[in-house]
Amino acid sequence: MKKWILIMGLAFSTVSFGQFYDITQSGVVLQAILDGTFSSGISVTGNIEMSSSLVHIEDTDTYMSYATDKVDFVVGGEGGFLALLQGAGGSATFNSSGVAGFDFIVKTGNDEAALTVDGGTDVTTINQLAVRTGILNDSYTLGTDSCYGMVLSITGARTITLPAAVAGMSITFVTIGANAVSIDVQGTDLIMLDGTALSDGDKITNGSASGDTAVFTYYDATGWLAITNGWTDGN
């Protein structure tokens, strides 16, 4: 039967491979195990010390890696699946390597995905309601990906142009500072502004006050529904 060797500072006799052995019973700290496999478990009452990693024997690119004040969980060769860092800048970071395929999901007793962060689209979903935030520091034409659950703060006098309205889109604008802001649409879309349909292609303009808010959602094939706190037709 294959043998393995325990090195405990002094030479130690070999024991049968696969035999359960309580490594604390000798009262000597275990320093190394050479070419050994435990088939029935191991019990340790003190510490297990290692210099680098704890590796899954059947899947060697999945392991826990150790460094000074840091533990990194690596899954399928992708580092940073979960990284724990201690110190003044300490953190617990999921997907610290920024892998697009890693989604963060929190389950509850009643919801399989109460909180999710999509690693590819950056969309955060709470109870299946997508929420994203951003700041616009310049006039800008939004892409379609920015119009699903986005809340945008507008910091100056800007004109923001929406893409063509598509079912499922929703976006909220909030002005930061007393600035004139317009939200424009594509020429073939209209805005149903607080219950009144504007002409195709007309934009809406705020009252140049801080905190002016406009919530846009897909209305129908004709364009957008806008619920505001007093924005008007800017033509």
- pLDDT at 214 (0 to 100): 97
Structure confidence at residue 129 (pLDDT)? 57
Q: Residue 221: its pLDDT value, please?
A: 95
* DSSP secondary structure string for all residues of 42-103: ---SS----SSEEE-TT-TT-EEEEETTEEEEEETTEEEEEEEE-STT-EEEETTT--TT--
**Mean pLDDT, the chain cut into blocks of 10 residues (235 residues total):** 40 41 46 53 74 81 83 78 77 79 82 78 65 71 83 90 93 94 96 97 96 96 97 95
Domain assignments of the chain as residue spans, ordered by start: 1-49, 51-102, 113-233
Write down the pLDDT at residue 40. Answer: 65
> Do 3 and 16 meet the contact criterion of CB atoms below 8 Å apart?
yes
Q: What is the pLDDT of residue 30?
A: 46
The confidence score (pLDDT) of residue 38 equals: 60
